[in-house]
């Protein structure tokens, strides 16, 4: 996973734009009347966003009655959200933007409301509250949102990911002699700030990433095995590992330091089980 660059234009202007697109009538009038109040909540949001303390924000009790009106502002396919999605997309590195960075597994086909729209309808179209996300992560996030600072998810606009290894994989064979995997997090050398590591742990656990990555890895293994077998026909395993380490460095730059694929492939190359499997295949050829 990689950090994303947050929206860099006026956020409240997006809210105003969404209201302006409404047809003339009571709903629009009500929403326009709320502008001064919403502008204030946006200012509070902005301050806490800059300090990376969004979880301190409390739902605005005065806006509870307006929740149904505010909720009409967000539609994934509406023109305002389409433009916004494109604006957010244009700020990011092209190699990663189509993939949900919360998991790096599925495609980013939704926008996650970092502060959920049920509790914070006033930020329903606030660009800094919207994060490109897959539908699986989006629904897991909704289930376990908490303002408790010990229960946080990574906010990849704000929580800077460390260039230190924290994601590791154990490789083993299941009862059918097929490769299987156990992902885990580790900060034994304490190179990663303890508070940040706690958030990373919460994030992986609540988005069920260990098991989702395990399933993704089972999908990936035969392609990797075929690739390494092919290399092994003309190179020694030591030569393959040497070349591969350079490739991992490049992958880490492109997809993030702890991308599951790099962690998995390093673990496989280091695994006696995998090395034995490749040697067996080479002898068969």
> Applying CB under 5 A, which residues contact Zn ion?
100, 102-103, 134, 137
CB closer to Zn ion, 115 vs 133:
133
Name 275's Cβ contacts closer than 8 Å, sequence gap at least 6. 237, 269
Nearer to Zn ion, 131 or 179 (CB): 131
Q: Would you say 15 or 206 has its CB closer to Zn ion?
A: 206
Token look-up 């700020």 returns 91
As measured in angstroms, the least distance from the Cβ of 46 to Zn ion is 26
Determine contact, residues 176/157, Cβ cutoff 8 Å.
no
| 262 touches 248 (CB < 8 A) | yes
- Residue 180: CB atoms within 10 Å: 15
Min. distance of Cβ 105 from Zn ion in angstroms? 6
Could you give the residue ranges of the DSSP H alpha helices within the chain?
A: 11-20, 26-33, 35-50, 67-71, 79-90, 135-143, 194-206, 209-232, 237-255, 260-269, 272-284
Least distance CB 102 / Zn ion (angstroms): 4
Least distance from Zn ion to the Cβ atom of residue 108, Å: 7
- Supply the minimum distance, in Å, between the C-beta of residue 136 and Zn ion: 6
Nearer to Zn ion, 18 or 103 (CB): 103
Q: How far is the CB of 132 from Zn ion (least distance, A)?
A: 9
Q: Which of 5, 129, 112, 127 is nearest to 57 (CA)?
A: 129
In angstroms and rounded to an integer, the radius of gyration of the C-alpha atoms of the chain is 23
CA distance 239 to 242: 5
Please say which residue, 133 or 221, places its beta carbon nearer to Zn ion: 133
Q: How far is the C-alpha of 267 from the C-alpha of 254, rounded, in Å?
A: 19
CA contacts within 13 A on the Cβ side of 62: 6
Which residues in 91-126 are b (16+ Cβ under 10 Å) and which e? ebeeebbebbbbbbbbebebbbbbbbbebbbbbbbb
Minimum distance, C-beta of residue 219 to Zn ion, in the bound complex (Å) = 16
102 versus 262: smaller Cβ distance to Zn ion: 102
Nearer to Zn ion, 156 or 267 (CB): 156
């Amino acid at each position: 996973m990689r950090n994303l660059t947050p929206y860099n234009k006026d956020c409240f202007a997006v809210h105003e734009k969404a209201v302006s697109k409404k047809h003339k009538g009571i709903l629009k009038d009500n929403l326009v009347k709320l502008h001064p109040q919403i502008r204030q909540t946006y200012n509070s949001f902005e301050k806490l966003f800059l300090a990376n303390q969004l979880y301190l924000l409390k739902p605005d009790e005065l806006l509870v009655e307006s929740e149904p009106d505010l909720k009409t502002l967000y539609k994934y396919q509406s023109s305002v959200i389409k433009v916004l999605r494109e604006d957010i997309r244009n700020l990011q590195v092209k190699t990663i933007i189509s993939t949900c960075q919360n998991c790096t597994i599925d495609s980013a086909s939704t926008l996650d409301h970092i502060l959920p729209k049920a509790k914070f309808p006033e930020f329903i179209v606030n660009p800094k509250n919207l994060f490109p996300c897959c539908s699986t992560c989006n629904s897991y996030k909704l289930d376990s949102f908490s303002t408790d600072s010990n229960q946080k998810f990574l906010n990849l606009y704000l929580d800077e990911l460390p260039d230190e290894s924290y994601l590791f994989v154990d490789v083993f064979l299941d009862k059918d002699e097929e490769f299987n995997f156990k992902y885990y997090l580790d900060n034994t050398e304490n190179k990663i700030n303890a508070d940040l590591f706690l958030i990373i742990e919460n994030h992986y656990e609540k988005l069920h990433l260990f098991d989702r990555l395990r399933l993704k890895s089972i999908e990936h293994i035969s392609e990797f095995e075929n690739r390494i077998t092919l290399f092994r026909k003309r190179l020694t395993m030591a030569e393959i590992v040497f070349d591969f380490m350079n490739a991992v460095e490049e992958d880490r730059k492109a997809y993030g330091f702890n991308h599951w694929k790099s962690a998995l492939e390093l673990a496989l190359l280091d695994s006696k089980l995998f090395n034995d499997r490749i040697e067996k295949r080479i002898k068969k050829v």
